[in-house]
Amino acid sequence: MNQKTLSSRAWSELVLLSVIWGGVFLAVRIALDEIGFLTAVAHRTGWATLILWGYVVLRRLPIPRSPAIWGAFFVMGLLNNVIPFSLMAWGQLHISTGLTAILNAATAVFGVLVAAIFFADEELTTRKLIGVLLGFSGVATAIGLSSLSEFNIRSLAQVAVIGGTISYAFAGVWARKTLAGLTPQVAAAGMLTGSSLTIIPVAWYIEGPISFDLTAQTWLAIGYYAVIATALAYLLYYRILAMAGSGNLMLCTLLIAPVAIILGAIILGESLPVRAYAGFALLALGLVIIDGRLLFQH
């Protein structure tokens, strides 16, 4: 059976997705200064849902009517949005950004492992496993291995972030199994509908009515993570899923943390420590091994 691989086009879109998601940690953290973590998630999924359905209607794309598909949308919304968004937003309030990013990068490891269990064409080869582990080591090195000393399994915040990464991994598998025949626009809109119908009532009940009287800074943060990092990003997400499979899709989490470091250097003028370059070298080697074309061409 032919194995799912990353084409040049899939790689380019994977990198773009990673760049987009690289700014999410900062945007969410800014929003959390004014609104609760559940309300932050409600804004993220709610606005993205409206944008994507507007696109679907304008393009006159076919809307699924099967109850089974809509049930799959709700499950996908829980696995890929409600659970990980909420757990990670809450976790960011209690642990360092460096450790959060390292733990988030574990999504790639869980993604490859879970995909190998469910799909014959995403076999966990020795080469792929070595590449993922090298990439994860690169992310940890770039951010600072000292951050790992903060890890304590008894910390609920850290466990929450890990729970979010596992949820992401299963979401990739669920999407490929149940939503593969849909266009990326409809799949993303349906998923976010399920997310919004779940999280908005929960946020309203726990944190009170959804607030719209917010500062310009908070609205800019919401605009970024709702419009760009959710509505636009999930169009890329489903395109890459169809091209490369769920395990390869999860590799984007290996790139998110380094992208965040680079954005900090460019936008905030932060200097890159020497360890960042060592980490990038490990990460690059891991991705080259996973891709295989440069090292294993016949």
Q: Write the pLDDT tens digit of every residue in 178-189.
A: 988 888 889 999
Tell me the residue range of the domain where 138 lies: 8-291
State both tokens at 294: 């440069």
Answer whether residue 158 is part of any domain: yes
Most confidently modeled range among 100-104, 138-142, 198-202: 198-202
Q: Please, are residues 169 and 108 in contact by the beta-carbon 8 Å criterion?
A: no
Q: What is the pLDDT of residue 196?
A: 97
Q: Helix (H, G, I), strand (E, B), or coil: what is residue 258?
A: helix
Answer whether residue 24 is part of any domain: yes
Answer whether residue 69 is part of any domain: yes
Q: What is the pLDDT of residue 282?
A: 86
pLDDT in tens, 39-61: 999 999 999 999 999 999 999 99
Give the count of domains, the chain: 1
Rounded to the nearest integer, the mean pLDDT of the chain is 85
pLDDT band at 154 (very low <50, low <70, confident <90, very high): low
Nearest to 61 by CA among 185, 230, 156: 185
pLDDT at residue 298 greater than cutoff 70: no
Q: What is the pLDDT of residue 107?
A: 80
Look-up of token digits 């900090």: 264
Q: What is the pLDDT of residue 243?
A: 82
pLDDT at residue 38 greater than cutoff 90: yes
State percent of the chain over pLDDT 70: 90
Q: What is the pLDDT of residue 223?
A: 97
pLDDT at residue 207 greater than cutoff 90: yes
- Tell me the average pLDDT across 155-181: 88
- Tell me the average pLDDT across 218-235: 94
- What is the rounded distance in angstroms from the CA atom of residue 245 to the CA atom of residue 239? 10
Answer whether residue 180 is part of any domain: yes
Q: Annotate 127-165 with b (16+ C-beta within 10 A) or e (fewer).
A: ebbebbbbbbbbbbbbbbeebeeeeeeeeebbebbbbbb
| Residue 110: half-sphere exposure toward Cβ, Cα within 13 Å | 19
Q: What is the pLDDT of residue 295?
A: 63
Q: What is the pLDDT of residue 170?
A: 94
Q: Angle at the Cα of 260 (from 294 to 164), degrees rounded to 5?
A: 90
pLDDT in tens, 104-113: 877 877 888 8
pLDDT band at 13 (very low <50, low <70, confident <90, very high): confident
pLDDT at residue 143 greater than cutoff 80: no
Answer whether residue 1 is part of any domain: no
- What is the rounded distance in angstroms from the CA atom of residue 2 to the CA atom of residue 8? 17
Answer whether residue 2 is part of any domain: no
State both tokens at 47: 């606005």
Q: Please, are residues 132 and 250 in contact by the beta-carbon 8 Å criterion?
A: no
Answer whether residue 194 is part of any domain: yes
Answer whether residue 270 is part of any domain: yes
pLDDT at residue 152 greater than cutoff 90: no
Query: CB within 8 A of 223, min separation 6: which ones?
Result: none
pLDDT band at 72 (very low <50, low <70, confident <90, very high): very high
Q: What is the pLDDT of residue 10?
A: 82
State both tokens at 64: 């699924």
Q: What is the pLDDT of residue 4?
A: 66
- What is the rounded distance in angstroms from the CA atom of residue 203 to the CA atom of residue 197? 11
| Weakest mean pLDDT among 4-13, 19-28, 88-97, 225-234 | 4-13
The secondary structure of 27-63 as a DSSP string is HHHHHTTTS-HHHHHHHHHHHHHHHHHHHHHHHTPPP
